[in-house]
């Protein structure tokens, strides 16, 4: 069975040595009293929960899956999930970065980001039960009425209740403008909601006393399309004004999906039959309110694959040290043994280092974005808030798509290190691959992310946000370019930066003539900009490592080796991507649709 | 549930218009009477069997899996598999390309290649039951005694019995030199074989009256390592000299593996307890004999992924035509509908065309290799036999690794076209992905293939075989370079050919200094040479299509569009691969093994 070791040392490196995050955070009024020791202690304790409580349930949860009792609509998650959730709630973990006004501990989102990386690495399917609550919490926190906040936020914060996002319907996923669920106003100001939702993660279970569904539906007078969608909060059990639970509401799980992975999480088809809900935010403006949940969820999905990349790497390394097979081509390395450990073989190392570099690059980028998010929420400087918000918006689709594509590559490589054993369930490696696959799809497919990046975040404002991020890279290049030791990192970074600038301009001009050019280029483009951001953070990490190498701590030697591997073996992918990108739309549209 | 449509038109194109295969085959004495109509009729009938008999069992076979009765060691495959096998045997299909001396129909391997592509596309798990027989047939045909041939070949040819390859043991897969199974000589010249084997596909089942296991084991006087391994034939039921079945032999299935995919095939742990077998070929030379099976099996594995690529493509296209979601960025294309079919979106087309190009390129390359294999076996010209054999040896690892890596990419893309529905079992798309994953592992991992290509097939003879293949490409470039219409294909082909020549020379020099350089470069290198071979065949296909375009048959228009897509969007990958390759070994070995 796979093991999970919380990567605390690397997290501390990113927090304290790369980002100097506590200093940055202390500038923000809500985090003025933060200190490194607290952050480290929280992560250490959180890592222990991940490794000791939920990691041991990952493989068994996959084998067992969830059960639906069709008579009662009750869903039972795999054995041990409920007890683990009780431990989680008892430990106060749901409240970590929630608002103290509603019982939260008010820690930065950055700390929660690292905590969730560990939960996801230990058990993605389990983590989705509490994980979905965040979206509901954030939507109500941002758009709820005082009454909604009072009734729901404390229980979501404590974890007594969990949340869901009910968006997708059988005929619409990406295109929510097509949705059909209806909300009928009732005399008391609430609404009776009727319709069918699918793919609702954690839609029904017995882990919590209540489930708070955030549901998209149409009011009777709603305009057609995406401008006629409203957001409602629909609890599994009606919540009385004193906060106690009332009647079972008309929202039921009618079926569980049989999926490729995340078997331990209940993916529900939900039927709403005059379920009573209240409006969140303004009528017909549900999609905007929903995007509060969605952006958090997209960062969360990138974090899921980051966790899987790390755990797959750890277990593949352990196997590669133990498994004896063949001799190194350059001669025996363990002559006392019947064969060499497969870690001596260059391609095994290449697969492992690919996963390692994707984990370390992804961790640095995600942490940076979480820090910007904290600043965007809590800086006392409005201009800083706005700049950080724009940067988070730019990097969110990259985290969602680049980290999940990388997670798919990395988990598959790590499985490959196991040879035939990787294909066998009991080793746990193939589960990481199956679990990682959903992350490229849900919360907006990776194609949708790429359109969001190139269309909305880059071209729509003439590249202004990208330029601002590019300026940070240019400043770093300018500063470090004089340091001979840094040139191996800075030169390819600068080169790729120039290429991205040129490519962006080209694509802008093409898109001006035909908007479909955006769709043709977007997926390649996102991967190129993803590499640019990884190259930037690997160069910055290399700088820190070079400075501290003299300490003799082999951590820095390893960090440098990973950075060099990244620049040598992974960054070159951009050469092919840019070429493919520049061939444009025509090769895709030339085929008549009847000829496919 | 997915549908399977035999791609007969494209097969006929490759056979008759690209390769002029029947003319080529008629030059070979055993195939002097072959004609196009016979070939077409066989494929049409074979396609019907694939589509109508076994395709409907694919999804249910995956859900149901195989059952082992631990008391009796009996294994029951999924419902319908046995009846389908009976139909297969009654139709005479196992005999298609077997030797008429043993009851075979003597058709070219090329025909069998296409037939098996269809079987694999329809149901890979089912196809592995008869598919494994081929290896046993070929090993006995090439190395068996007259008595072994007489006892086993007619029943393997008719399909009354099936075969297996029992190589892997728990502690050794790639490194068969470590194997421990023992063969003790008996007084009558046979052997008592004892040991444990794992990952034995179709190791036990009730489809056939007997199972012919080809087993690697060590004789008592065997030298250590790979030079001490012998090959034995060990039937499930002892075969008496009159061909009738005797006692149950001491070879049993002790457990079934729980796998990521190919659930319908029984992957068995086999225990041998003084199982009686006879020696195949010479003592201690089992690995050479085994490689007869292995090379055929490697081509077969590439063919599995080719089948999956095609079926995934077909079903994703059907979905992309029907699923309405969003409007094209350039404005509505189906204004009468609530949204446009997703086939209008450029990236959906890119995912589909990637699968299509990998299927068409893979089909052309595989067919070419099968034709060379037929020539290597049956040409009356010894020099031609030898040249063809060398070319098959060169291209076999490319077919195994390049086609299976492509199959993984293609099935995953096709699943992605389905959005969330792709992750759900009932749509069948995620099964293609799970099934495709094993093809990158078994019969020698793709890393092993790449070492075989670069180390053994290219560098070991100073690139002579590669140069011979390169000469064919150069001759084509020379001939077509004067045709203006062909330049868009010929120029990038010539360019890549030059780059491969240069890269090969560089790698040869590096490997001379440090053999581990081969391991560092091999995987990237194989993919580059894979693209070179695809580019060659796409250019040749484009030539045919340009010549026949005037006929008005839209098949040629589509072929040209696919070729142009391939050159624009897929070939550019080589730019990054070559760069990565050239950075060599150092970035992989710099990390101390303790620091991983």
Could you list the active site residues of A?
443
Dihedral over Cα of A342, A343, A346, A351: its sign: positive
> What radius of gyration do chain B's Cα atoms show?
24
pLDDT, position B291 = 83
Is the Cβ pair B591, A317 closer than 8 Å?
A: no
Short-list B204, B199, B208, CA closest to B70: B204
Q: Are residues B247 and B277 in the same domain?
A: yes
Q: Look at residue A432 and tell me if it is in a domain.
A: no
Q: Are residues A89 and A175 in the same domain?
A: no
Give yes or no for a contact between B373 and B388, defined as CB atoms under 8 angstroms apart.
yes
Q: Are residues B263 and B217 in the same domain?
A: yes
A288 inside 8 A of chain B by CB: no
Chain B, 533-562: which have a CB under 8 Å from a chain A CB? 554, 557-558, 561-562
Q: Are residues A477 and A579 in the same domain?
A: yes
C-alpha distances in Å from residue A321, one per residue of A3, A318, A418: 15, 5, 11
* Whole-number percent of chain B with pLDDT over 70: 100
Q: Are residues A103 and A168 in the same domain?
A: no
pLDDT band at B288 (very low <50, low <70, confident <90, very high): confident
B338-377 core/surface letters (b: 16 or more CB in 10 A; e: else) = ebbbbbbbbbbbbbbbbbbbbbbbbbbbbbbbbbbbbbbe
Which residue from B minimizes the CA distance to A512? B330
**Least Cα separation, residue A416 to chain B (angstroms):** 7
Is the Cβ pair B558, A356 closer than 8 Å?
A: no
Chain A residues touching B526 at Cβ < 8 A: none
Q: Look at residue B327 and tell me if it is in a domain.
A: no
CATH assignment of the domain containing A24: 1.10.540.10
* pLDDT at A430 > cutoff 80: yes
Q: Look at residue B168 and tell me if it is in a domain.
A: yes
Is the Cβ pair A593, B343 closer than 8 Å?
A: yes
Which residue from B minimizes the CA distance to A560? B591
In eight-state DSSP terms, residue B162 is E
Model pLDDT for residues A267-299, shown as the tens digit of each residue: 999 999 999 999 999 999 999 888 878 888 999
Which residue from A minimizes the CA distance to B199? A420
Model pLDDT for residues A295-332, shown as the tens digit of each residue: 889 999 999 999 999 999 999 999 999 999 999 999 99
Rounded distance, CA A114 to CA A7, Å?
Answer: 10
B42-60 core/surface letters (b: 16 or more CB in 10 A; e: else) = bbeebbebbbebbbbbbbe
pLDDT, position A588 = 98
Is the Cβ pair A347, B419 closer than 8 Å?
A: no
Is the Cβ pair A172, B325 closer than 8 Å?
A: yes
B335 inside 8 A of chain A by CB: no
> Among B443, B478, B479, B480, which one carries the catalytic annotation?
B443
What's the residue count for chain A? 596
Tell me the angle at which helices A516-548 and A573-582 cross, rounded to the nearest 10 degrees: 160
Nearest to A329 among B330, B516, B580 (CB): B516
B259 inside 8 A of chain A by CB: yes
Q: Are residues B30 and B116 in the same domain?
A: yes
Rounded distance, CA B109 to CA B258, Å?
Answer: 33
pLDDT, position A74 = 98
**Least Cα separation, residue B167 to chain A (angstroms):** 12
A226 inside 8 A of chain B by CB: no
pLDDT, position A336 = 97
Chain B residues touching A522 at Cβ < 8 A: 347
Q: Look at residue B223 and tell me if it is in a domain.
A: yes
Q: Look at residue A81 and tell me if it is in a domain.
A: yes
Q: Look at residue B460 and tell me if it is in a domain.
A: yes
Model pLDDT for residues B447-466, shown as the tens digit of each residue: 999 999 999 999 998 999 99
Domain that holds residue A467: 447-590
Nearest to A346 among B261, B317, B589 (CB): B589
Q: Mean pLDDT score of chain A, rounded to an integer?
A: 97
pLDDT, position B170 = 94
Query: Which residue is listed with tokens 């129909």?
Result: B105
- HEC per residue, A522-577: HHHHHHHHHHHHHHHHHHHHHHHHHHHHHHCCHHHHHHHHHHHHHHHHHCCHHHHH
Strand pairing partners for A251?
A272
Which residue from A minimizes the CA distance to B313? A596
A326 inside 8 A of chain B by CB: yes
Among B249, B283, B317, residue at a domain's last position: B283
Is the Cβ pair A572, B579 closer than 8 Å?
A: yes
B595 inside 8 A of chain A by CB: yes
Inter-chain contacts counted by CB atoms under 8 A, chains A and B = 282
Model pLDDT for residues A78-115, shown as the tens digit of each residue: 999 999 999 999 999 999 999 999 999 999 999 999 99
Arithmetic mean of pLDDT, B79-95: 98
Arithmetic mean of pLDDT, B348-360: 98
Q: Are residues A226 and A99 in the same domain?
A: no
**Least Cα separation, residue B450 to chain A (angstroms):** 10
Is the Cβ pair A346, B321 closer than 8 Å?
A: no
Is the Cβ pair A579, B588 closer than 8 Å?
A: no
Q: Are residues A42 and A131 in the same domain?
A: yes
What's the residue count for chain B? 596
* pLDDT at A178 > cutoff 90: yes
Nearest to A568 among B564, B573, B583 (CB): B583
Which residue from A minimizes the CA distance to B595? A558
Report angle CA B3, B9, B14 to the nearest 5 degrees: 120
Query: Which residue is listed with tokens 């009976």?
Result: B86
Chain A residues touching B576 at Cβ < 8 A: 572-577
Arithmetic mean of pLDDT, A440-456: 97
Model pLDDT for residues A529-572, shown as the tens digit of each residue: 999 999 999 999 999 999 999 999 999 999 999 999 999 999 99
Is the Cβ pair B339, A178 closer than 8 Å?
A: yes
Is the Cβ pair A554, B412 closer than 8 Å?
A: no
Nearest to B587 among A352, A565, A593 (CB): A565
How many CA atoms does the CB half-sphere of B204 hold within 13 Å?
30
B332 inside 8 A of chain A by CB: no
- Looking at A5-9, A19-23, B293-297, B412-416, which range is the least confident one? B293-297
pLDDT band at A232 (very low <50, low <70, confident <90, very high): very high
pLDDT, position B42 = 98
C-alpha distances in Å from residue B436, one per residue of A272, B125, B134, B316: 39, 11, 20, 16
Is the Cβ pair A346, B412 closer than 8 Å?
A: no
Is the Cβ pair B572, A565 closer than 8 Å?
A: no
Is the Cβ pair A430, B424 closer than 8 Å?
A: no
In eight-state DSSP terms, residue A105 is -
Q: Look at residue B224 and tell me if it is in a domain.
A: yes
Q: Are residues B497 and B524 in the same domain?
A: yes
pLDDT band at A66 (very low <50, low <70, confident <90, very high): very high
The token duo for A309 is 């990349």
A408 inside 8 A of chain B by CB: yes
Chain A residues touching B447 at Cβ < 8 A: 345, 347-348, 416
Is the Cβ pair A329, B518 closer than 8 Å?
A: yes
**Contact partners, residue B276, CB within 8 Å, separation at least 6:** B186, B190, B191, B192, B193, B234, B238, B249, B250
Chain A residues touching B439 at Cβ < 8 A: none
Arithmetic mean of pLDDT, A208-230: 97
pLDDT, position A194 = 98
pLDDT, position B204 = 98
Among A284, A308, A328, residue at a domain's last position: A284
Chain A residues touching B443 at Cβ < 8 A: none
Chain B residues touching A326 at Cβ < 8 A: 174-175
Q: Look at residue B333 and tell me if it is in a domain.
A: no
Q: Mean pLDDT score of chain B, rounded to an integer?
A: 97
Give yes or no for a contact between A483 and A539, defined as CB atoms under 8 angstroms apart.
no
Rounded distance, CA B424 to CA A173, Å?
Answer: 14
pLDDT band at A265 (very low <50, low <70, confident <90, very high): very high
Query: What is the count of structural domains for chain B?
Result: 3
Short-list B74, B22, B237, B242, CA closest to B147: B242
The DSSP bridge pattern shows strands B245-248 and B251-256 to be: unpaired
* pLDDT at B292 > cutoff 90: no
* pLDDT at B134 > cutoff 90: no
Chain A, 485-524: which have a CB under 8 Å from a chain B CB? 514-516, 518-520, 522-523
Rounded distance, CA A466 to CA A528, Å?
Answer: 13
Among B98, B116, B143, residue at a domain's last position: B143
Short-list B411, B391, B406, B399, CA closest to B458: B391
Tell me the angle at which helices A346-378 and A516-548 cross, rounded to the nearest 10 degrees: 100
Q: Are residues B198 and B128 in the same domain?
A: no
pLDDT band at B295 (very low <50, low <70, confident <90, very high): confident
* pLDDT at B109 > cutoff 80: yes
Strand pairing partners for A194?
A182
Arithmetic mean of pLDDT, A119-146: 95
**Least Cα separation, residue A87 to chain B (angstroms):** 31
Model pLDDT for residues A381-422, shown as the tens digit of each residue: 999 999 999 999 999 999 999 999 999 999 999 999 999 999
How does DSSP assign A167-205, residue by residue? --BTTBSS-GGG---EEEE-TTS-EEEEEEEEEEET-S-
Q: Are residues A251 and A280 in the same domain?
A: yes
A343 inside 8 A of chain B by CB: yes
B456 inside 8 A of chain A by CB: no
Q: Are residues A136 and A255 in the same domain?
A: no
The token duo for A139 is 């939507």
Rounded distance, CA A86 to CA A73, Å?
Answer: 22
Chain B, 191-210: which have a CB under 8 Å from a chain A CB? 198-199
Arithmetic mean of pLDDT, B212-232: 96
pLDDT, position A542 = 98
pLDDT, position B78 = 98
A414, A569, A570, A578: best to mutate for the B interface, most B CBs within 10 A: A569
Chain A, 152-191: which have a CB under 8 Å from a chain B CB? 168, 171-175, 177-178
């Amino acid at each position: 069975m796979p093991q999970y070791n919380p990567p605390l040392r690397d997290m501390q490196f990113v927090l304290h040595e790369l980002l100097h995050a506590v200093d940055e955070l202390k500038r923000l009024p809500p985090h003025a009293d933060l200190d490194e020791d607290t952050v480290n202690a929280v992560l250490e304790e959180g890592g222990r929960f991940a490794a000791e409580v939920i990691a041991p349930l990952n493989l068994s949860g996959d084998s067992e899956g969830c059960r639906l009792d069709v008579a009662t609509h009750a869903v039972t998650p795999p054995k041990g999930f409920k007890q683990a959730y009780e431990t989680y709630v008892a430990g106060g973990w749901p409240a970590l970065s929630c608002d103290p006004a509603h019982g939260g501990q008010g820690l930065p989102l950055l700390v929660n980001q690292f905590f969730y990386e560990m939960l996801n690495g230990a058990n993605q399917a389990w983590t989705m039960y509490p994980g979905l609550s965040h979206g509901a919490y954030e939507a109500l926190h941002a758009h709820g009425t005082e009454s909604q906040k009072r009734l729901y936020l404390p229980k979501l914060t404590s974890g007594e209740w969990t949340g869901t996002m009910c968006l997708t319907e059988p005929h619409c996923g990406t295109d929510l403008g097509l949705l059909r669920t209806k909300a009928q106003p009732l005399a008391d100001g609430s609404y009776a909601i009727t319709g069918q939702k699918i793919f609702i993660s954690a839609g029904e279970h017995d882990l919590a006393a209540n489930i708070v569904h955030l549901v998209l539906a149409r009011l009777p007078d709603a305009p057609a399309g995406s401008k006629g969608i409203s957001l409602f909060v629909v609890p599994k059990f009606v919540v009385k004004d004193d906060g106690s639970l009332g009647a079972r509401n008309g929202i039921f799980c009618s079926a569980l999906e049989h999926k490729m992975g995340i078997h331990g999480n209940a993916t529900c088809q939900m039927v709403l039959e005059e379920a009573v809900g209240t409006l969140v935010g303004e009528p017909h403006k549900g999609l905007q309110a929903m995007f509060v949940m969605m952006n958090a969820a997209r960062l969360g999905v990138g974090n899921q694959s980051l966790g899987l990349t790390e755990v797959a790497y750890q277990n593949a390394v352990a196997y590669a040290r133990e498994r004896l097979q063949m001799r190194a081509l350059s001669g025996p390395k363990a002559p006392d043994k019947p064969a060499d450990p497969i870690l001596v073989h260059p391609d095994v190392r290449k697969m492992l280092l690919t996963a390692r570099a994707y984990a370390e690059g992804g961790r640095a980028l995600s942490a940076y974005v979480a820090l910007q998010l904290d600043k965007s929420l809590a800086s006392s400087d409005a201009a800083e808030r706005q700049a950080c918000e724009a940067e988070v918006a730019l990097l969110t689709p990259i985290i969602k798509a680049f980290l999940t594509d990388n997670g798919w590559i990395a988990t598959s490589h790590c499985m490959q290190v196991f040879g035939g054993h990787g294909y066998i369930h009991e080793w746990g490696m193939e589960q990481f691959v199956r679990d990682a696959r959903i992350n490229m799809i849900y919360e907006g497919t990776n194609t949708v992310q790429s359109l969001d990046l190139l269309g909305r975040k880059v071209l729509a404002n003439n590249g202004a946000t990208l330029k601002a991020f590019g300026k940070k890279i240019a400043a770093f290049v300018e500063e470090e370019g004089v340091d001979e030791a840094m040139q191996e990192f800075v030169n390819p970074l600068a080169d790729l930066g120039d290429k991205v600038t040129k490519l962006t301009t080209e694509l802008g001009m093409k898109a001006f003539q035909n908007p479909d050019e955006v769709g043709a280029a977007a997926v390649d483009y996102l991967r190129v900009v993803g590499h640019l951001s990884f190259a930037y953070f690997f160069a910055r990490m290399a700088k820190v490592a070079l400075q501290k190498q003299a300490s003799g701590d082999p951590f820095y030697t390893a960090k440098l080796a990973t950075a060099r591997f990244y620049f040598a073996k992974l960054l070159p992918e951009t050469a092919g991507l840019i070429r493919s990108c520049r061939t444009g739309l025509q090769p895709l549209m030339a085929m008549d649709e009847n000829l496919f």
